[in-house]
Chains A and B, each alone.
Chain A
Amino acid sequence: MARTVTTRQKALNTTLAWAIGLLIFFPILWTILTSFKTEGQAISDPPIFLFFDWTLENYAIVQERSDYLRFLTNSVIIAVGSTLLGIVVAVPAAWSMAFVPSKRTKDILMWMLSTKMLPAVGVLYPIYLLFIKLGLLDNRWGLVVVLMLINLPIIVWMLYTYFKEIPGEILEAARMDGATLREEILYILTPMAVPGIASTILLNVILAWNEAFWTLNLTAAKAAPLTAFIASYSSPEGLFYAKLSAASTMAIAPILIMGWFSQKQLVRGLTFGAVK
């Protein structure tokens, strides 16, 4: 479609798209701005956009009062831990399915996908009970395992689609060149799949970070991650908008940045390769 677009048209597109983009982004922007206001300015009518007394005190208060760092640590451990554990389990499985496909490979992939569709409430009590029995309730490692399991199908699928793009002939060439299976995976497959593995990690950290069913239901005080930390603001007392905003900003900032980096890979990971 190489065709010159008139500047007028382009300007029109640009204006419309930016207006809608900013509108969609506005709640996030507003949260970030509010986090730097005083509580009084946060609720002022008419609202103040930029010309307020910028302050960092909300961040200090949030950290002091509710020990933000502990929740953050839990979130990091749960999100990163479950993802890395998932990768370790999924890489060999995805290698097998991509390069040594059998008649059942497709069925196995489909079945894995189907486990992801099991509604969480349907199995809430059994998991709850098992966690009590195993002493894993309100335990970070228990959540690492659960989130690894719920995201494992996505990890396997993403890696599978990335591995699939590596031509089998290259691995065969390595085999002809005398590489053992270990050398083949180590020297040829892994270096070629680094971008795919990286984006798989990124997306799954995001998904695990934002997971808000199991993290809310299986934790209390000790292992609660940021999802639960924010949920504790649902019945607050007094003025709290600025503090809520500061807490929210801290909870979403790391993931927002990671998300922006991984947006290109997002589609593949979330549609199981059904949209390219």
Chain B
Amino acid sequence: MATQHSRAAARIMMAPAVILLLGWMLVPLTMTLYFSFKNYLPLRGGDLGWAGFENYTRFVTSSSFWPSILTTLIIVGGVLFITVVFGVLLALLLDRPMWGQGIVRILVIAPFFVMPTVSALVWKNMFMDPTNGLFAHLWRAFGAQPVEWMSQASLPSIIIIVSWQWLPFATLILLTAIQSLDGEQLEASEMDGAPALKRFWYIILPHLSRAITVVILIQTIFLLAVFAEIFVTTGGAFGTKTLSYLIFQRVLESQNIGLGSAGGVYAIILANIIAIFLMRIVGKNLDN
């Protein structure tokens, strides 16, 4: 396949994509790094000189920092837990023989295609609204006091909304993985006398472990960046300010670019740590 001729052609054809992505990565990254060492307040005097590591220390010592980390962890952890556990169960169910499997699949996958702003608003208003929402109707029907979801249970609300969006993703990937399980392996374990629960534990779950890892890593990357769901529901109030949202507020709302950029650098480092694990798995798969 590889002659010098084709190798030269390959290099030329690869150049546009590589150059574009290199620019997209390096230019903003360099600027963020640069700003993070600056006292830069566009609305209050602009560039006020170098700040050293002051932005970095101020960002982590601010009273909002640790709560934002905690919020981020709760949202990411909660959504991961719900989507993985229910994703495995749902995938197992969908893999069984039934009528109308194709239609059920379509029903289950649908939320993934709903725009984040739509799903956040529909849930917030039509389901979680304390006077007119469906949940309020339901609570009242049982004589209970309706919950004020967005203020009293703001984090669970956001976790529910985001889990609803990502459950299809987890289910679909885990279902694909289950379907790739060699039927003979299961039959062999059945011949060996393993009951259903043991078959799940010793054959199916280990087979799924890689798919589960992939689901966790990919979702983590997207969940760390959850934005629209908070933006249109609580706007960061009621303890729903994640690290991403905190940075967003520092940059665009309070226009403290230096501080926001330092936070951005933290977020980039955090994402990269997770990315390394994901890349290992993907990379291993590339080899075979």
- Measured CB to CB, the residues of A under 8 A from B are 1, 5, 9-10, 13-14, 16-18, 20-22, 24-25, 27-28, 30-31, 34, 43, 45-47, 89-90, 92-93, 95-97, 99-102, 106, 108-115, 117-130, 149, 152-153, 156, 168, 171-172, 181, 206, 209-210, 212-213, 216-217, 226-228, 230-231, 233-234, 240-241, 244-245, 248, 251-252, 255-256, 258-260, 263, 266-267, 270-276
Residue from the list B32, B125, B187 in contact with A122, Cβ < 8 A: B32
Which A residues are in CB contact (< 8 Å) with B141?
46
User: Can you list, as one digit per residue, whether each of B1-43 has a CB less than 8 Å from chain A (1) or not (0)?
Assistant: 1100011011101101110110011011101100100000000
Besides A115-B24, A213-B227, A275-B177, 18 other A-B contacts (C-beta < 8 A): A13-B93, A13-B97, A24-B108, A24-B164, A46-B137, A93-B13, A95-B13, A96-B14, A100-B1, A110-B283, A113-B279, A114-B272, A168-B1, A227-B115, A256-B113, A263-B172, A271-B218, A274-B282
Bound together, the chains give a CA A227 to CA B274 distance in angstroms of 28
A122-B268, A130-B27, A271-B218 are known contacts. Are A27 and B247 too (CB-CB below 8 A)? no
Which A residues are in CB contact (< 8 Å) with B283?
106, 110
Bound together, the chains give a CA A127 to CA B24 distance in angstroms of 9
Bound together, the chains give a CA A200 to CA B126 distance in angstroms of 34
Q: Which of B242-267 contact A (CB under 8 A)?
A: 244, 247-248, 251-252, 257, 260-261, 263-265, 267
Q: Name the CB-closest residue of B to A153.
A: B21
Which A residues are in CB contact (< 8 Å) with B18?
93, 108
Q: Are A274 and B271 in contact (CB under 8 A)?
A: no
Which A residues are in CB contact (< 8 Å) with B25?
115, 118
- Cβ of B132 < 8 Å from any Cβ of A? yes
Q: Which of B161-192 contact A (CB under 8 A)?
A: 164, 167-169, 172-173, 176-177, 180, 183, 186-187
Q: Name the CB-closest residue of B to A94.
A: B17
Interchain residue pairs with CB less than 8 A apart (8): A24-B110, A45-B136, A126-B29, A209-B115, A227-B115, A231-B232, A260-B113, A272-B282
- Cβ of B69 < 8 Å from any Cβ of A? no
With most chain B CB atoms within 10 A of its CB, the pick from A17, A45, A112, A113 is A17
Q: Are A259 and B112 in contact (CB under 8 A)?
A: yes
Q: Provide the main secondary structure of the chain A interface.
A: helix
- Measured CB to CB, the residues of B under 8 A from A are 1-2, 6-7, 9-11, 13-14, 16-18, 20-21, 24-25, 27-29, 31-32, 35, 90, 93-94, 96-101, 103-119, 121-127, 132, 134, 136-137, 140-141, 164, 167-169, 172-173, 176-177, 180, 183, 186-187, 210-211, 214, 218, 221, 224-225, 227-228, 231-233, 244, 247-248, 251-252, 257, 260-261, 263-265, 267-268, 270-272, 274-275, 278-279, 281-283, 285-287
Q: Report B183 CB to chain A, min CB distance, Å.
A: 5
Which B residues are in CB contact (< 8 Å) with A111?
21
Q: Are B1 and A172 in contact (CB under 8 A)?
A: yes
Which B residues are in CB contact (< 8 Å) with A30?
122, 126, 134
Q: Are B268 and A90 in contact (CB under 8 A)?
A: no
Q: Are A45 and B137 in contact (CB under 8 A)?
A: yes
Residue from the list A97, A120, A227 in contact with B116, Cβ < 8 A: A227
Q: Are B21 and A149 in contact (CB under 8 A)?
A: yes
Q: Name the CB-closest residue of B to A230.
A: B117
With most chain B CB atoms within 10 A of its CB, the pick from A112, A118, A217, A233 is A118
Q: Are B32 and A123 in contact (CB under 8 A)?
A: yes
Which B residues are in CB contact (< 8 Å) with A27?
111, 119, 122-123, 126-127, 164
Q: Are A119 and B267 in contact (CB under 8 A)?
A: yes
A47-B134, A100-B6, A122-B264 are known contacts. Are A255 and B252 too (CB-CB below 8 A)? no
Q: Are B107 and A24 in contact (CB under 8 A)?
A: yes
Q: Are B105 and A263 in contact (CB under 8 A)?
A: yes
Q: Are A267 and B176 in contact (CB under 8 A)?
A: yes
Which A residues are in CB contact (< 8 Å) with B261?
125
Minimum-distance CB pairs A-B, first 3: A92-B13, A122-B264, A126-B31
Bound together, the chains give a CA A274 to CA B231 distance in angstroms of 32
Q: Are A118 and B126 in contact (CB under 8 A)?
A: no
Q: Are A28 and B232 in contact (CB under 8 A)?
A: no
Q: Are B16 and A276 in contact (CB under 8 A)?
A: no
